[in-house]
Amino acid sequence: MEGKHYGIILLNKLQPPGIKTKTLRRRRLLNVISRNLDKKLVLLFAGAGYGKTTLLSHMLSEQKLRFVYYHLEKTDAEPAVFFSYLINGIRRLFPNFGYKFEGLRHLFNYPEKYLGIIVGTFVNEALETVKGDLYLILEDYHILAPSDSVDKILDYLFDHMPSNLHFIITSRSKPAISLSQMTARDELFELGTNQLRFTKEEIRRLFKKTYSISLKGKDLDWVERYSEGWPVSLRLMLQSTNYLEGIRSSDHVRKVIGNYLQSQASLFNYFAQEIYFQEPTRIRDFLLDCSVFEWLSPSLCNAATGRRSSARLLSDLTKRNAFIVEIPENGYRFHHLFRDFLFSKFTDVSRRRNVYFRAANHLSKKGKLEDALGFYLRSRNFRKGISIIVRIGPSLIGQGRSNALCSYVEQIPVSMRDRLPDLLTVYAQALIQEGRQPEAKKHALRAAYLLKDKKSKRRPYAESLYGLGGISLNLGNFQAAKKWYNRALRACPKGSSLARASIMNSLGSLYNEMGSKFLPKAIGYFAQALSVTERHAYRELEASILNNWAMSEWKMGNLNEAYAKLVKITDILEKHFSPGCGAGFFNAARLSLLLGRKKEAKEILDIGMRTCSTYNDQWSMGSLWAGYALLYQEFGDLNKAQQSGSKSLEISKKLGIDRLVIIAHTELCKINIANRNFEEAEKNLSSIWLLKKEHDDTIYIPVHFVEGKLRIAQGRLQRADEILDKTLHLAQNFNRAFDLFQINIELSRLYHLQKNDVDSIVALRHAVGISRLKGYEYLLVKELMSDSWMLKATRENDIDRQYVMSTIKKSKLDVHWVDALLFGVPKVIVDGQEIEDGSWRTMKAKKLFCYLLLHHTEKTTSDTLIDTLWRNVSHRKGCDSLRKAVQYVRETMKKASGAENVLLVSKGSYQVFPSVSVWLDVETFEGFLKQAKSTQDDDHKITLLHKAINLYKRGFAYGWYDHWVEDMRLYYQARYEECLSLLADFHYKKADYSDSVTIYKELISLNSYDERYHRGVMVSLAKLQKYKEIEEQFKKLEETLDKELKARPQTATIELYNSLLRPIKGRR
């Protein structure tokens, strides 16, 4: 029971038993085991006393193997204990093994939930540190029953462990682990009862070689028949014979067996009694007292039995009793059957309790508190047992042994338990870990009631209230949780900094869950908690607080603030792993991407993958692969994005975590839309809707949003409108600023496709406003860059022009804003700054750039440019001039704005680079005219016409006289005349005759040969009854036509003139 003891490790259990002198080496079995040592599992299963341990001892003495020998006890059924011994044993061979694993002890409170992490980390550490073959020997596996947790651990291990790792298991029964697949893969070797029985030849050799008894044929048959080859029975026969000095005959063996047959007792009990009663009374008493111990040491036996001679007695018994085994350097133990036999004889309850109590006192003094606790409870000294439970309880929970703690507490009578608040508090904490919430609540309430008025117990009181808050939160009762947490914070002493920080973090998390209006309160608590953790260097709690705080900022749409919190946690998470911490890496990477920090996002995901894959944290891996899907989408690598999203989905489905499945399907849907694979995108959406009927949770906002994108891509614009409108209201209800930004951008696109320019601009204006408020500059520039019309719309409609221009200028993206004012004296403005004529190396360079801006939506060949700008020179000289002019344009742009990519030259064609946002006054002019001609709203029409007229100024490219300029000048003058004509007609219809006269006269000044304008003036003057002016106007027309064209006015004009003046001629 003692031996060397570290934490919960008894080194006795890791020591292989010594080989007794009077044993037979069973060459038949040793050879067959030797041939199968390459198997993953060697299984020896048979009832007690079949020589399994002896056979292993002989095998280990012959084979040069590296091994860990682990003698199992009942308590080893706890995963935490099981792995502690395995790791300690392996570490004696490989000192660097298991250090990552040690940080996972608290996970053993939930062994099934974290099985993959626990066992996966063990496997990964084995791969990393264990070199060469290693054999893990588990002796007496049957003792663990029920062994569900360890069974599952071994099943996982056998499926994933490296080829250099092997298990050898001995058991009285076949373990409940999955052996069929191992058998099919030839990875299992079994030795059962039939193989382990002694053959007739082995019986003969045992009696002859080991005990010098020669069995005659008939006697050998008798021994074989009545022993059935059971090794322990043979040893018992020989042991009982050994007590009769000098008798070494075959006749005596026959007599012993005859006496056994007459007794009608069980074989083992008959011979055990023979051995037991041949000992003197003082030895029998010693054996009974020691039968309560699994492991024996002289000091423990002295303390428990009140003797001083235990060392001598144990040594003597070992030499002459086959059923006490020495563990070299670590003590002794009884053979299980013999110990069971002795314990059945130990019927004096009072004496047995005294032995327990003395052993407990001894162990307690040695500092082996948990061992002492077990004996105090068996001695029914509950007072001392309770003292130890309260002392070691938090440590047991931290080691993942809450189940063991509960079993200890539940051995305390309820009447005592319910009077002790410290015991109830630690019990409630263990029950919470075990998922027994109603029981935990009951005991925590009782503890709080008992502690309420005890001023010296403020911290335990606060802890009991804190536990009640956690229970209420787990049960979804937010109001009750808030009440308990607040009471816990008020009760918690100022000096208990870690406890106070934990409570404040929980309060913040609670408010985070309660909805958007509580988020500022959540942030307030996180700020207080973080201040405490930073002062006292509580790093793991600090990571939790930062992540929780970041998620509150995320919900409020504060991406920059969330990012500032999340980037701090990556270093902490790398050094302080916890299950699911991949979500922290994912969140940090996602925020980095949303802020345009692609390289940083990749570094974060890579660190997360290294950290979490070491521990085989599948939950985290699902999150991280989702992060890689986002990353590769950002880089435009849709194939890798698809692969990453598929891995995330596969893991999430296997884990059965709906939230992760929804995220994975949503990202895959976006990728499939980008790939135009609408059928697969529909499947993604269908899979999401199957998970949940209600679609009004915030997690579904991105899902609705991506469905809207899909409908737009499919051309189902009306359905997209309905979906996005619903999503907009959902985001508004939850005040989700980031979602509102994205939805408004998408609505702007949708309305643009629907030719609904008014609503498109309204939605775009909302998105830009949110961007300015929340700092979404990178996202805004990215969206404006992806749709050139959108950037143009912000400029034409003056949507926060200065902010948008400033954002573009500050962005790291190579996006530039070029205004070309081609009416009047041509001007080029880049990113809000005019390029003066003196900045151009040549005027030809400016004209080339303006020409390309005028045709920015298309590619222009070099031949076209040469023919347009250098038509009077040779082709060779034209090519040279074009090349120089292009170079001058680039130099001028770079000097003026730092723009690297302004002109795209490819295969003899030239174009303004797509990332350059171009605004042309001539295009805007034509846009106003087009809208004016189509609108039925008179007020809107007149506004548009005035806007167009105001843009025209002195015509196209005033002061330039190139032939292509003249062609364009004539074209735009015709469009300008059309504007004026529409405006004049509008005023005439509105009976604003003076205005119509003025406009028609301006038209005549532009084009005096167009008789329509002359007729318009005359009709308008007639309405004003200015007949003399009509005569003058007609006379001027006649003179102009005669002088310039030698022609007469058109018949229609003459007839109109005569009809207008007829009333006057009649009066004359």
Average pLDDT over residues 686-695: 77
Residue 737 confidence (pLDDT) above 50: yes
Average pLDDT over residues 306-326: 82
DSSP symbol at 16? P
Measured N-to-C along each axis, helices 701-714 and 678-691 cross at an angle, to the nearest 10 degrees, of 150
pLDDT confidence of residue 265: 47
pTM score: 0.74
Q: What is the DSSP string of 954-1021?
A: T-BTTT---HHHHHHHHHHHHHHHHHHHHHHHHHHHTT-HHHHHHHHHHHHHH-TT-HHHHHHHHHHH
pLDDT confidence of residue 860: 95
pLDDT confidence of residue 773: 95
Query: Residue 514: which pLDDT band, with cuts at 50, 70 and 90?
Result: confident
User: Given phi > 0 = left and psi -120 to 50 = alpha, else beta, which region is 860?
Assistant: beta
DSSP symbol at 71? E
The mean-pLDDT minimum among 143-152, 503-512, 821-830 falls in 143-152
Percent residues over pLDDT 70 in the chain: 93
Cα distance between residue 851 and residue 348, in whole Å: 112
Residue 312 confidence (pLDDT) above 60: yes
Beta bridge partners of 912: 903
Give tens-digit pLDDT for 60-109.
Answer: 988 889 999 999 988 888 888 899 899 999 999 999 998 888 778 777 77
pLDDT confidence of residue 642: 96
454: exposed, middle or buried (Cβ count in 10 Å: 0-12, 13-18, 19+): exposed
Query: Using omega within 30 degrees of 0 as the cis cutoff, is the peptide bond preceding 413 cis?
Result: no
Cα distance between residue 158 and residue 144, in whole Å: 19
Residue 255 confidence (pLDDT) above 70: no
Cα distance between residue 53 and residue 930, in whole Å: 98
Better-scored residue on pLDDT, 389 or 574: 389
Residue 361 confidence (pLDDT) above 90: yes
Contact call for residues 121 and 614 (beta carbons, < 8 A)? yes
Which CA distances in Å does 91 have to 85, 125, 215, 383, 626? Answer: 10, 11, 49, 38, 36
Average pLDDT score, the chain: 88
Q: How far is CA 1066 from the centre of its chain?
A: 96
| Residue 196 main-chain phi, psi, to 5 deg | -85, -10
Residue 207: closest CA among 192, 185, 191, 222: 222
Element (H, E) at 139: strand 134-139
Q: How many residues would you count in the chain? A: 1068
Report the half-sphere exposure of 326 (CA within 13 A, side-chain side).
18
| The pair of three-digit structure tokens given for residue 476, joined into one six-digit string | 């979804």
| The pair of three-digit structure tokens given for residue 601, joined into one six-digit string | 């996002």
Cα distance between residue 945 and residue 54, in whole Å: 106
Query: HEC profile for 687-749?
Result: HHHHHCCCCCCHHHHHHHHHHHHHHHHHCCHHHHHHHHHHHHHHHHHCCCHHHHHHHHHHHHH
Instruction: Give the helix ranges, DSSP H, for 291-420.
Output: 298-305, 310-320, 336-345, 349-365, 369-379, 382-398, 402-409, 414-417
Radius of gyration, alpha carbons of the chain = 46
Element (H, E) at 1042: helix 1027-1045
The mean-pLDDT minimum among 308-322, 529-543, 817-831, 858-872 falls in 308-322
Residue 266 confidence (pLDDT) above 60: no
Query: Residue 395: which pLDDT band, with cuts at 50, 70 and 90?
Result: confident
556: exposed, middle or buried (Cβ count in 10 Å: 0-12, 13-18, 19+): buried
Contact call for residues 806 and 832 (beta carbons, < 8 A)? no
Cα distance between residue 32 and residue 383, in whole Å: 55
pLDDT confidence of residue 805: 82
Element (H, E) at 502: helix 497-513
Average pLDDT over residues 911-930: 90
Percent residues over pLDDT 90 in the chain: 56
Query: Residue 227: which pLDDT band, with cuts at 50, 70 and 90?
Result: low
Query: Residue 324: which pLDDT band, with cuts at 50, 70 and 90?
Result: confident
pLDDT confidence of residue 2: 45
pLDDT confidence of residue 209: 74
pLDDT confidence of residue 258: 55
Give tens-digit pLDDT for 810-822.
Answer: 876 677 888 999 9
pLDDT confidence of residue 137: 95
pLDDT confidence of residue 184: 85
Give tens-digit pLDDT for 160-198.
Answer: 889 999 999 999 888 888 888 888 889 999 998 888 888
Contact call for residues 385 and 377 (beta carbons, < 8 A)? yes
Element (H, E) at 257: helix 250-263
Give tens-digit pLDDT for 654-664.
Answer: 888 888 899 99
Contact call for residues 569 and 592 (beta carbons, < 8 A)? no
Better-scored residue on pLDDT, 400 or 233: 400
pLDDT confidence of residue 510: 93
Which CA distances in Å does 674 have to 669, 678, 679, 709, 721? Answer: 9, 9, 12, 10, 20
The mean-pLDDT minimum among 16-20, 625-629, 687-691 falls in 16-20
Beta bridge partners of 134: 165
Cα distance between residue 81 and residue 102, in whole Å: 12
938: exposed, middle or buried (Cβ count in 10 Å: 0-12, 13-18, 19+): exposed
Give tens-digit pLDDT for 815-851.
Answer: 788 899 999 999 999 888 899 999 999 999 999 999 9
DSSP symbol at 210? I
Residue 470 confidence (pLDDT) above 80: yes
Average pLDDT over residues 125-143: 92
| The pair of three-digit structure tokens given for residue 777, joined into one six-digit string | 């500059």
pLDDT confidence of residue 5: 40
Give tens-digit pLDDT for 1057-1068.
Answer: 999 988 776 555
Give tens-digit pLDDT for 983-1032.
Answer: 999 999 999 999 999 999 999 999 999 999 999 999 999 999 999 999 99
Better-scored residue on pLDDT, 212 or 144: 144
Beta bridge partners of 905: 910
Contact call for residues 268 and 341 (beta carbons, < 8 A)? yes
